[in-house]
């Protein structure tokens, strides 16, 4: 008797039909998501290769440029296997069964063969997952070797340690996958129960070993460029942007942890969850690995667009500022100290409102305010400094007494040497004539 036998109860039949419809809708959604992510991942890799060829040429591509294509190839294999978990194996494997169901399931039944096929797909999925992720990690290490060329030897030593860690962890996960369950055919055994270790979709040993090795290697890869960027003399905004760019492995770690948590907490649907989250995790890994290479390409493409947009915004801001300008001062108007450099205090009634006509506004736009300097005394060198604004005022006060003798000269303020006894001259009441002549030169 097969556990997939159709129930005779109408209510149970309706429930099973609804469950099948829900499973079909979920499968359709996952199919669209999985192949879309694969297409985006391939496109990102193509852009990375294009950027590298544009930068160094086809013949000067390095090992990391080929390793990413090895990773993308196995990403396509993994996506196909994840699709097969739902399309071929119906989300079934040798897990999520009671002992009674295992006994009653005939080896000749369709469900039995489906579960065997599903278990084998899971093993192939773990294998492609291993090659994919570790190929991407190796490509990052090769990239770091180029990135640290000419720097201290300590960075190169850390990269060599990273290669050793990758090789050791890759051997560990493969040995754990292929040697944990012995004999190997127990991985698709249905009856008797082979135990959790031999259930590849939900095996705790397989899951936790993969998770630990994945997290350790990703964190070590992040620890190579981040300290170098942190100690650099880059501007803070650019420094933190690059740190975030090279810390993309944290998203891969988060996806791996979430994937393992979902599989462990739901052993019945573990096979379908394993395939779904494997595709999402590896997609994030493909994008974050290639992002440092394609970021300059996006910057080059979007630079003119963003530059034009920024120029437009600044122009609009200038127009807004001119329209709302209500408190303008003369050139150099500012702090109290600036007036002292000009040789005198501000006037008692400073100008606070000035309306420029069109030509004056153009003149103001052509003058760079940072190039204007306060007037300085030029008596020492006899020349005027360039790009300065200077105002020179000459004042002469002349006074004459009507009753004075004709040969009596007119005293002039500031001519003390020729005044003979008129050392303290002041304006006196009476019949005097005073005149003011002012000469202004700007």
Phi-psi region of 414 (alpha: psi -120 to 50; beta: other; left: phi over 0): left
Whether 107 shows a pLDDT value over 50: the answer reads: yes
Predicted pLDDT of residue 315:
63
Summarised one tens digit per residue, pLDDT across range 118-166 is 999 999 999 999 999 999 999 999 999 888 887 778 888 999 999 999 9
Comparing 361 with 394, the larger pLDDT belongs to 394
* 75-84, 143-152, 173-182, 325-334: the lowest-pLDDT one: 325-334
The answer to whether residue 177 scores a pLDDT higher than 70 is yes
pLDDT at 419 over 90: no
Provide the token pair at 207.
Answer: 């899951």
Does the pLDDT value for residue 93 go beyond 50?
A: yes
pLDDT of 227 reads 80
The average pLDDT across 280-289 equals 90
Question: Looking at residue 150, what is its pLDDT?
Answer: 79
Contact 201, 115 (CB under 8 A): no
Mean pLDDT of the chain: 74
Predicted local distance difference test score (pLDDT) of residue 374: 40
Closest CA to 125 of 186, 200, 72: 200
Question: In terms of pLDDT, which residue wins out, 144 or 310?
Answer: 144
Q: How high is the pLDDT of residue 239?
A: 79
Higher per-residue pLDDT: 22 or 204: 204
* Integer Cα distance of 359 and 80 in angstroms: 71
Q: Answer for the pair 23, 91: CB distance below 8 angstroms, yes or no.
A: yes
Estimate to the nearest angstrom the gap between the alpha carbon of 325 and the chain centroid. Answer: 37
In b/e form, how buried is each residue of 91-107, taking b as 16+ CB within 10 angstroms? bbbbbbbeeeebeebee
Q: What is the token pair recorded at 282?
A: 């590896």
Coil, strand or helix at 412: strand
CA 421 – CA 274 distance, rounded (Å): 112
Least confident of 196-210, 282-296, 356-370: 356-370
pLDDT of residue 393: 53
Split at pLDDT 50, 70, 90, the class of 207 is very high
Bridge partners, residue 434, by sequence = 399
Q: What is the DSSP string of 370-411?
A: GG-B-----TTTSSPPTTB---EEEEEEEEEETTS-TTPPPP
For residue 397, list its beta bridge partners: 436
Q: Cα(356)–Cα(359) distance, rounded to whole angstroms?
A: 8
pLDDT at 25 over 50: yes
Helix (H, G, I), strand (E, B) or coil at 135: helix
Among 169, 139, 141, CA closest to 155: 141
Does the structure show a pLDDT above 80 at 307? Answer: no
Question: What is d(CA 292, CA 242) in angstroms, rounded to the nearest whole number?
Answer: 9
Do residues 134 and 196 make contact, with C-beta atoms less than 8 angstroms apart?
Answer: no
| Element at 301 (helix H, strand E) | helix 270-323
pLDDT > 60? residue 84: yes
Residue 257 clears pLDDT 50, i.e. is over it: yes
Q: Helix and strand tally (H, E) in the chain?
A: 12, 2
Nearest to 300 by CA among 46, 45, 54, 42: 54
Most confident of 160-174, 258-272, 400-414: 160-174
- Quote the pLDDT of residue 389: 52
**pLDDT for 63:** 93
Section 72-91 average pLDDT: 91
What value does the mean pLDDT take over residues 176-199?
Answer: 93
Regarding predicted confidence, which is higher, 93 or 369? 93
- In angstroms, the CA 157 to CA 247 distance is 20
pLDDT score of 411: 45
**Backbone conformation region of residue 377, classed left if phi is above 0, alpha if psi is from -120 to 50, else beta:** beta
pLDDT at 360: 33
pLDDT in tens, 382-418: 444 444 455 555 555 555 555 444 444 444 444 444 4
Residue with more model confidence, 5 or 206 = 206
Average pLDDT over residues 303-314: 64
Say what the pTM is: 0.65
Whether pLDDT at 287 is above 80: yes
Q: Mean pLDDT throughout 320-349?
A: 44
């Amino acid at each position: 008797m097969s556990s997939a036998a159709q129930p005779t109860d109408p209510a149970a039949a309706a429930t099973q039909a609804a469950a099948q419809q829900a499973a079909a809708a979920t499968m359709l959604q996952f199919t669209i998501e999985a192949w879309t992510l694969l297409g985006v991942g391939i496109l990102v890799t193509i852009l990375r290769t294009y950027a590298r060829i544009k930068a160094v040429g086809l013949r000067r591509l390095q090992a990391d440029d080929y390793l990413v294509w090895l990773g993308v190839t196995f990403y396509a294999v993994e996506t196909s296997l994840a699709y097969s978990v739902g399309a071929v194996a119906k989300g079934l494997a040798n897990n999520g069964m009671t002992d009674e169901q295992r006994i009653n399931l005939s080896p000749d039944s369709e469900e039995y063969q489906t579960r065997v096929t599903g278990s084998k797909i899971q093993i192939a999925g773990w294998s492609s997952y291993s090659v994919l992720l570790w190929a991407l990690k190796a490509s990052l290490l090769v990239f770091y070797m180029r990135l640290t060329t000419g720097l201290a030897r300590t960075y190169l030593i850390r990269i060599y340690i990273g290669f050793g860690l990758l090789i050791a962890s890759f051997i560990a996960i493969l040995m754990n996958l292929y040697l944990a369950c012995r004999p190997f055919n127990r991985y698709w055994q249905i009856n008797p129960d082979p135990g959790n270790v031999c259930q590849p979709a939900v095996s705790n040993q397989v899951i936790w070993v993969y998770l630990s090795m994945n997290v350790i290697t990703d964190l070590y890869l992040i620890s190579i460029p981040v300290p170098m960027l942190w100690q650099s003399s880059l501007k803070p905004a650019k420094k933190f942007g690059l740190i975030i760019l090279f810390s993309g492995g944290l998203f891969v770690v988060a996806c791996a942890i979430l994937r393992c948590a979902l599989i462990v907490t739901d052993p019945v649907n573990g096979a379908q969850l394993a395939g779904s989250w494997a595709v999402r995790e590896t997609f994030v890994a493909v994008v974050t690995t290639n992002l440092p290479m394609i970021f300059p390409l996006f910057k080059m493409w979007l630079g003119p667009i963003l530059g034009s947009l920024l120029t437009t915004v600044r122009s609009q801001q200038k127009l807004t500022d001119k329209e709302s300008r209500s408190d303008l001062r003369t050139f150099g108007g500012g702090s109290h100290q600036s007036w002292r450099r000009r040789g005198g205090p501000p006037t008692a009634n400073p100008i606070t409102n000035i309306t420029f006509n069109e030509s004056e506004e153009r003149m103001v736009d052509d003058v760079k305010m940072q190039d204007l300097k306060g007037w300085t005394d030029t008596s020492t060198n006899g020349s005027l400094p360039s790009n300065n604004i200077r105002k020179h005022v000459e004042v002469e006060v002349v006074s004459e007494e009507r009753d004075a003798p004709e040969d009596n000269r007119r005293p002039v303020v500031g001519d003390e040497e020729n005044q003979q006894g008129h050392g303290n001259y002041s304006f006196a009441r009476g019949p005097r004539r005073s005149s003011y002549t002012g000469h202004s030169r700007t």
